[in-house]
Structure 1
Amino acid sequence: MNTNYSDCLLTEVAWEVCNQVGGIYTVIRSKVPTMTEVWGDRYCLVGPYFHNKAIAEFEPINNYDDVFGQAVLKMRDLGYEVQYGYWLVSGRPKVVLINHFSAFYKLGEIKYTLWENHGISSPDGDDLLNQVIAFGYLAKVFHQQLDEVKGDVPCVSHFHEWMTGTAIPEMRREHVKTSIVFTTHATLLGRYLAMNDPNFYDHLPYYDWNKEAVNFNIEPAVKIERAAAHGANVFTTVSEVTARECESLLGRTPDMVLPNGLNIERFTALHEFQNLHKEYKDQIHEFIIGHFFQSYTFDLDKTLYFFTSGRYEYKNKGFDITLEALARLNWRLKEENTDTTVVMFFITKQPYHTINPQVLQSRAVMEEVRSNCDAIVQQVGDKLFEASASSDDLKLPDLNKFVDEYWKLRLRRTLLSWKSHELPKVVTHNLVYDSQDEILNFIRQSNMVNNQHDKVKVVYHPDFIASTNPLFGMEYGQFVRGCHLGVFPSYYEPWGYTPLECMASGVPAITSDLSGFGDYVLKNIPNNENKGIYVTNRFHKSYHDAAQQLADQMYHFVHLSRRDRITQRNRVESASEHFDWQNLGSYYDKAHRLAFSMAIR
């Protein structure tokens, strides 16, 4: 057998290849340039084929001369629909996209094999589970065909998450000649337990995994995850936090921890990203004017923008503790009668009917006010220039005379139609489950409903931000750059990309020691608060103690001078280099080398 690592092939299998459905998509996609730099043409990704998603990210290859292409042709000969091409992202890696629906005709047989050989039973009515099982079967078939065409060339196959997991025990049973790495980014059972048990971490060593899986009706998926973890030659996860979870809930301690990174965009001069912060902050100002100034005003030069984002998991994402800390911060700032205003954005995804009509109307009328003001500025500017150029003295003309009565009246009428005595809306959309929403219920109970005297205002936006969004008109990354502080004190977060994305944008962030990212920061980044990365201690801390620490951290940030905030943005942007895939990719290389050493034994 060939024993040269430089000849080894690497396949990477994930449900998120060309399929943007979650945070692992960011992991896989952002890591690609580092992988292609190391592996070149010996690297190929494998994922599911969804035509409507792949059409924007996938380009077919017409040449099937390499081993991956030959394996694709052999699969087609077996009657399966398989696409071969390039993923149109940085690095342009080769990808094999498998239409798992082309194996649905034998789904019953596949399920029986899983049950007979591995004790994994699966109900008929679960659509995602059916797709996952069919995809896992075809991922196994692909590696069998690759086995036939590659000869004695060694191969490492890296699988991500339980959605790819059914392939692993079957590949081991059928002696497919590849060494398998499996990475769990979060245990499925852990996420459910953390949402439902306030003492999850204390109870972690004592759970009966099978009983709890049955209780949450996720037994097949949990069994798939356990089979993958135990079947892999090298088992990995993304953080020490999740490693402890894997030991208790999956019954295997990970061989390695593979931290997540990003492609960090480096600026040749520090002022470049500071300029971007100002540009996007000005766009957020426009939203704030439209949303709040209809009812009352405050000084935008003394306004700080905080935000949190992510899937709606009220406790797991730390929305509960964030709201409690904001209420305490609001009381403290009111007590000292500060002239600073904090606007806190909650950006998440919840079912809604429409954007609130009053919010939309206020935004539209504000645009009309701006249009009127622009017309007046143009008129005054032109007439002022003519009057100044033709004047015989140096006296400044009366500018009021330069504005037509028409524009004065129109502006006055527009302002009168815009101004309102109602409080600015907390939530920008009409929610389907308004009365049951935990964020809204806390806000109402604590009376943080955007009163004029409140120093902390809240904007709850139950949809993700994109350039097509009529309220913001900017991309999420631009919105992040325009903010001053990201707040992510998660209770359950195997890694935590959102604070890392803040760092990469030069925005200070708060995380928690229960997130993989926060745990990594405490162990690897000295003087982290000085670098703009705050960590709220939640491990073995009460809810109220953690909320008070979070409130104190936000209070400290509010009282930084403008110069100190600029310095902190410089420091956090510099510290983000630590998380560049150019550095963290070495962890993946170690895992692949370990798997390779097992393949050649």
Structure 2
Amino acid sequence: MMKQLLTPDYIFESSWEVCNKVGGIYTVLSTRAKTLQNTFPDRIFFIGPDVWLGKENPMFTEDPKLLEAWKEHAVKKDGLQIRVGRWNIPGTPIAILVDFTPFYKDKNDIYTQAWLDYHVDSLHAYGDYDEASMFSYAAGKVVESFYRYNLTMTDKVIYQAHEWMTGMGALYVQKHVPEIATIFTTHATTIGRSIAGNNKPLYDYLFAYNGDQMARELNVESKHSIEKQTAHFVDCFTTVSDITNNECKELLEKEADVVLMNGFEDDFVPKGEMFGKKRKYARALLLNLANKLLGTKMDDDTLIVVTSGRYEFKNKGINVYLEALNRLTREKNLTREVLAFVNVPGWVGEAREDLKQRLESDKDYDTPLEVPFITHWLNNMSHDQVLDMLKYLNMSNAADSKVKVIFVPCYLDGKDGIVNEVYYDLLIGADMSVYPSYYEPWGYTPLESIAFKVPTVTTDLAGFGLWVNSLKGHYGTLQEGVKVIHRTDYNYSEVADGIRDTITDFSKLSESEVNVIRNNAADIAEKALWKHFIRYYYEAYDIALRKAHERCKSYKQK
């Protein structure tokens, strides 16, 4: 018989990315919010840093009437500086933004107490450690204030903290409000990311690395310490994929209690006739952009391939993507022209005036602009990994080359000065996407791609790739919509060949074969919707609530 899961009455979640779009965690929280808001209407509260103080935050709408009595108490009696309102995402959940700067003056006392209570080493802090820890501590104080003012022992309350940046607050709540059940989610371990980012082999040697020793070597001791101690002391420790769970076991010496896979909502994907219109528009825009930059006449038969995401050259596999495209230039069996985009925000300067002028003109051009690889000038054109590698590979973007590569080094927010469309409105125009990650705890970009029926290539070093393999019972294939390539510390060349061969195979398919693959891709995306993955959260809530219940029982007996 299945046990009855305990469910919370109130949920608090804190993250640096609440009402603050920085990376993938924003996608996790903002797409899941609607599912939880439907189940716990206005009983889920997201706590974020008030980093937009004095500026208009487009993601947040303040509401002075919301939680008014508590807010007044929190400001006057608890000395908190908070704003309460709605997060402008589907479900419009309540968001509490806290100004954490007043806590800097108590920083040393806060760190000393964290050491005495939980052995958290803040001695080697630098960079964003202080900022994150003061926010985290402030978030913990917000939850304590809300609980003491509004709730009682009979209310079942969850506090879920995301990433090392929120560890200090989770431990504060654990100590000061023991009635609240705590969950800590690491989306990527500090050490794992550092090892991968420092060109050390992560996977073959994972069993041999000592997390504490590597933290000293890579100079991330304090971040590692708060992450590790929080994982060990909270009621329920979670991560986002089996591959990251392996890291947690080895580097944090703590296995996750539950793996909370990252779902998403597909409400941003156009339906029906609108889908076809948007796809057609995006393709025309991308081809026109390329033709104006390169002085070519590529037509709609061109195979458009994309990669995107954060500018982590090795971790995101941008290097192996470029290598594969270079090999593709020599591929005898390639029957179509390939236009490949690298949509990765770099250290962008200004939009190219020469390209802008061409785009505003109706003329056709038969000569390329100078540096025909890039849409915006960079602040440092001579030190950029994408441009450096294209130069090293001797890629030319010449009219007679079957493969053209264009680097779009800006955020696709609709107002970059050249493309002027948002990311999703361009993604829909691609034929295929490639995300050959070396380090990828989950992997939203390939998941978003297949939601737009754009088949994708990923690797088994991405949590998403592993999930597809487990879903299919074998390595995902191109025909199924997600090609999963085996990747290790040392098989870079085989991965590049695998991508080259996959693009070549795709280029030979008929329209009807491609349509089958596109629909298969969308079917996989459907299986990753939050309505399927939210159950893992309920498991985590149950574990945490039972632990908190036991703790409170033992306090009463003392």
| Structure-1-length-normalised TM-score | 0.84
The answer for the alignment partner of 1:236 in structure 2 is 238
Cα pair 1:17 1:47 within 8 Å, conserved: yes
The answer for the alignment partner of 1:385 in structure 2 is none
The answer for the alignment partner of 2:544 in structure 1 is 595
Task: Check if 1:189 corresponds to 2:191.
Answer: yes
Task: Check if 1:42 corresponds to 2:43.
Answer: yes
Give me the whole-angstrom Cα distance separating, in 1, the residues matched to 2:72 and 2:495. Answer: 53
Q: What's the offset of the Cα at 1:105?
A: 2.7
Q: What's the offset of the Cα at 1:419?
A: 4.5
Residues 540-588 of structure 1: per-residue CA shift (max 9 Å, x gap): 6622122211211111111112232223222212321111111111111
Cα pair 1:45 1:93 within 8 Å, conserved: yes
Cα pair 1:18 1:54 within 8 Å, conserved: no
Please identify, of 149-158 and 474-483, the stretch whose mean Cα deviation from structure 2 is larger: 149-158
Residues 229-262 of structure 1: per-residue CA shift (max 9 Å, x gap): 1111111100000000111111100011111111
The answer for the alignment partner of 1:555 in structure 2 is 504
Residues 146-170 of structure 1: per-residue CA shift (max 9 Å, x gap): 3423112121111111111112233
1:343 to 328, 339, 343: 339
Give me the whole-angstrom Cα distance separating, in 2, the residues matched to 1:172 and 1:115. Answer: 14
The answer for the alignment partner of 2:17 in structure 1 is 16
2:488 to 522, 539, 547: 539
Cα pair 1:307 1:483 within 8 Å, conserved: yes
1:358 to 350, 354, 360: 354
Residues 345-389 of structure 1: per-residue CA shift (max 9 Å, x gap): 11112223333443334334xx253xxxxxxxxxxxxxxxxxxxx
The answer for the alignment partner of 1:29 in structure 2 is 30
**Relative to 1, partners in 2 of residues 1:14 and 1:530: Cα closer, same or farther, differing over 3 Å?**
same
Q: What's the offset of the Cα at 1:284?
A: 1.6
Q: What's the offset of the Cα at 1:64?
A: 5.8
The answer for the alignment partner of 1:277 in structure 2 is 279
1:429 to 372, 376, 382: 376
Q: What's the offset of the Cα at 1:437?
A: 2.4
Give me the whole-angstrom Cα distance separating, in 2, the residues matched to 1:548 and 1:489. Answer: 12
Cα pair 2:100 2:135 within 8 Å, conserved: yes
**Superposition CA RMSD, Å:** 2.5
Give me the whole-angstrom Cα distance separating, in 1, the residues matched to 2:485 and 2:202. Answer: 18
Q: What's the offset of the Cα at 1:71?
A: 6.8
Task: Check if 1:448 corresponds to 2:395.
Answer: yes
The answer for the alignment partner of 1:382 in structure 2 is none
The answer for the alignment partner of 2:553 in structure 1 is none
Please identify, of 23-32 and 584-593, the stretch whose mean Cα deviation from structure 2 is larger: 584-593
Residues 480-531 of structure 1: per-residue CA shift (max 9 Å, x gap): 0011111101000000110011011121111110000000000014665323
Please identify, of 505-514 and 569-578, the stretch whose mean Cα deviation from structure 2 is larger: 569-578
Please identify, of 74-83 and 28-37, the stretch whose mean Cα deviation from structure 2 is larger: 74-83
Cα pair 1:85 1:96 within 8 Å, conserved: yes
SS state at 2:300 partner:
helix
The answer for the alignment partner of 1:466 in structure 2 is 413
Cα pair 2:334 2:504 within 8 Å, conserved: no
Count of matched residue pairs: 542
Cα pair 1:521 1:528 within 8 Å, conserved: no
Task: Check if 1:80 corresponds to 2:80.
Answer: yes
The answer for the alignment partner of 1:399 in structure 2 is none
Q: What's the offset of the Cα at 1:268?
A: 9.8
**Relative to 1, partners in 2 of residues 1:156 and 1:7: Cα closer, same or farther, differing over 3 Å?**
closer
SS state at 2:85 partner:
strand
SS state at 2:215 partner:
helix
SS state at 2:41 partner:
helix
Q: What's the offset of the Cα at 1:438?
A: 2.5
Q: What's the offset of the Cα at 1:423?
A: 6.6
Residues 369-416 of structure 1: per-residue CA shift (max 9 Å, x gap): 3xxxxxxxxxxxxxxxxxxxxxxxxxxxxxxxxxxxxxxxxxxxxx6x
Q: What's the offset of the Cα at 1:207?
A: 1.4
SS state at 2:527 partner:
helix
The answer for the alignment partner of 1:101 in structure 2 is 101
Cα pair 1:495 1:516 within 8 Å, conserved: yes
Please identify, of 178-187 and 35-44, the stretch whose mean Cα deviation from structure 2 is larger: 35-44
Give me the whole-angstrom Cα distance separating, in 2, the residues matched to 1:465 and 1:195. Answer: 25
Give me the whole-angstrom Cα distance separating, in 2, the residues matched to 1:160 and 1:552. Answer: 39
Task: Check if 1:257 corresponds to 2:253.
Answer: no
SS state at 1:55 partner:
coil
Q: What's the offset of the Cα at 1:171?
A: 2.8
Cα pair 1:80 1:103 within 8 Å, conserved: no
Residues 301-343 of structure 1: per-residue CA shift (max 9 Å, x gap): 32011111111111111011111111111100xx3573x2101
The answer for the alignment partner of 2:556 in structure 1 is none
Give me the whole-angstrom Cα distance separating, in 2, the residues matched to 1:72 and 1:498. Answer: 42
SS state at 1:263 partner:
coil
The answer for the alignment partner of 1:146 in structure 2 is 146
Q: How does 1:169-208 map to 2 (within 5 A)?
A: 169-208=171-210
Task: Check if 1:581 corresponds to 2:539.
Answer: no
User: Where does structure 2 lack aligned partners over 5 or more consecutive residues?
Assistant: 551-558
SS state at 1:12 partner:
strand
Please identify, of 86-95 and 166-175, the stretch whose mean Cα deviation from structure 2 is larger: 166-175
**Relative to 1, partners in 2 of residues 1:76 and 1:221: Cα closer, same or farther, differing over 3 Å?**
farther
Give me the whole-angstrom Cα distance separating, in 2, the residues matched to 1:424 and 1:287. Answer: 14
SS state at 2:329 partner:
helix
Give me the whole-angstrom Cα distance separating, in 2, the residues matched to 1:558 and 1:316. Answer: 27
Partner amino acid, structure 1, of 2:245: A
Q: What's the offset of the Cα at 1:134?
A: 1.4
Q: What's the offset of the Cα at 1:127?
A: 5.4
Cα pair 1:424 1:450 within 8 Å, conserved: no
Cα pair 2:294 2:368 within 8 Å, conserved: no
The answer for the alignment partner of 2:306 in structure 1 is 307
Give me the whole-angstrom Cα distance separating, in 2, the residues matched to 1:12 and 1:328. Answer: 46
SS state at 1:210 partner:
helix
The answer for the alignment partner of 2:423 in structure 1 is 476
**Relative to 1, partners in 2 of residues 1:442 and 1:284: Cα closer, same or farther, differing over 3 Å?**
same
Task: Check if 1:160 corresponds to 2:123.
Answer: no
Cα pair 1:72 1:83 within 8 Å, conserved: no
Cα pair 1:344 1:457 within 8 Å, conserved: yes
Q: How does 1:45-64 map to 2 (within 5 A)?
A: 45-51=46-52, 55-63=57-65
Give me the whole-angstrom Cα distance separating, in 2, the residues matched to 1:75 and 1:466. Answer: 36
Partner amino acid, structure 2, of 1:353: G
Residues 448-489 of structure 1: per-residue CA shift (max 9 Å, x gap): 120222111010121122211222121110010011111101
Cα pair 2:59 2:89 within 8 Å, conserved: yes
Q: What's the offset of the Cα at 1:422?
A: 6.0
Give me the whole-angstrom Cα distance separating, in 1, the residues matched to 2:136 and 2:270. Answer: 45
The answer for the alignment partner of 2:554 in structure 1 is none
| Structure-2-length-normalised TM-score | 0.91
Q: What's the offset of the Cα at 1:65?
A: 5.7
Cα pair 2:410 2:416 within 8 Å, conserved: no
